[in-house]
């Protein structure tokens, strides 16, 4: 289902493209459900393996426009102190001044500026990612997993996707040299998103 953009395949003499009713029905504001969503990351450790982690506390809003899909927006706030890699000492180091400095900069945020369809159910959302005091553009490639009504009557939409960043672009430059060459922590970080969002009830 084309969520953000659709190509007009009708002859050029046709001025109006009919709106897909299923697409139009998605129009609305959705709240990300943190209990059924995850925002995680993968980074190289000691040049030989990967460390995976996630942020347990996050919130966000999706505004989907089924009649003008490219106008859809996304806003996400992630609580840095909720980072979890499975090792308490490592998590403590990540929230310290060497890395995120969670006390001074408690949130990582994303605010979309553009949405587009790449093909089929694959989309790209571009926006501003802020970590610490640095804001830089980020594009996230997402797959739309569809919509469903859960047992409680909530209308849900689902997306999953990823993006790659260089942490040094956001001022996260801490590292340590290895005796065998190379560094302890890789610069490239893969961000992973698995999002379930619930549609808000229409306002009276």
Query: Which one-letter DSSP state was computed for residue 24?
Result: H
Q: Is pLDDT at 23 greater than 80 in this prediction? A: no
Q: Which has the closest alpha carbon to 63: 51, 75, 52, 72?
A: 72
Distances (CA, A) of 86 to 43, 138, 152: 14, 27, 32
Helix residue spans in the chain (DSSP H)? 21-24, 88-94
Q: Is pLDDT at 5 greater than 80 in this prediction? A: no
Q: Is pLDDT at 11 greater than 60 in this prediction? A: no
- With beta carbons less than 8 A apart as the criterion, state whether 7 and 15 touch: no
Q: Is pLDDT at 93 greater than 80 in this prediction? A: yes
| Cα angle 3-66-128, degrees, rounded to a multiple of 5 | 65
Give CA–CA dist 189/165, Å, rounded. 5
Please give the model's pTM, rounded to 2 decimal places: 0.87
Q: What is the mean pLDDT of residues 94-112?
A: 98
- With beta carbons less than 8 A apart as the criterion, state whether 2 and 19 touch: no
Query: Which one-letter DSSP state was computed for residue 197?
Result: E
Give CA–CA dist 121/189, Å, rounded. 25
Q: Is pLDDT at 95 greater than 50 in this prediction? A: yes
Q: How far is CA 21 from the centre of its chain?
A: 27
pLDDT at 41: 98
Looking only at the bridges linking them, the beta strands covering 107-119 and 58-64 are unpaired
């Amino acid at each position: 289902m084309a969520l953000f953009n659709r190509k007009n395949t009708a002859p050029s003499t046709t001025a109006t493209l009919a709106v897909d009713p299923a697409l139009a029905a998605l129009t609305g504001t959705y709240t990300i459900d943190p209990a059924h969503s995850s925002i995680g990351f993968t980074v190289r450790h000691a040049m030989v393996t990967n460390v995976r982690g996630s942020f347990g506390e996050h919130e966000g809003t999706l505004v989907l426009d089924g009649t003008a899909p490219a106008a859809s927006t996304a806003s996400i706030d992630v609580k840095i102190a909720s980072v979890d890699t499975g090792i308490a000492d490592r998590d403590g180091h990540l929230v310290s001044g060497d890395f995120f400095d969670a006390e001074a900069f408690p949130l990582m945020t994303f605010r979309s500026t553009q949405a587009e369809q790449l093909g089929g159910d694959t989309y790209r959302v571009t926006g501003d990612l802020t970590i610490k005091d640095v804001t830089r553009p980020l594009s996230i490639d997402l797959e739309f997993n569809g919509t469903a009504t859960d047992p409680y009557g909530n209308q849900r939409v689902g997306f999953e996707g990823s993006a790659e960043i260089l942490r040094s672009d956001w001022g996260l430059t801490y590292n340590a040299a290895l005796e065998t060459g190379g560094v302890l922590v890789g610069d490239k970080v893969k961000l992973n998103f698995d999002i379930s969002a619930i549609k808000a009830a229409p306002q009276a």
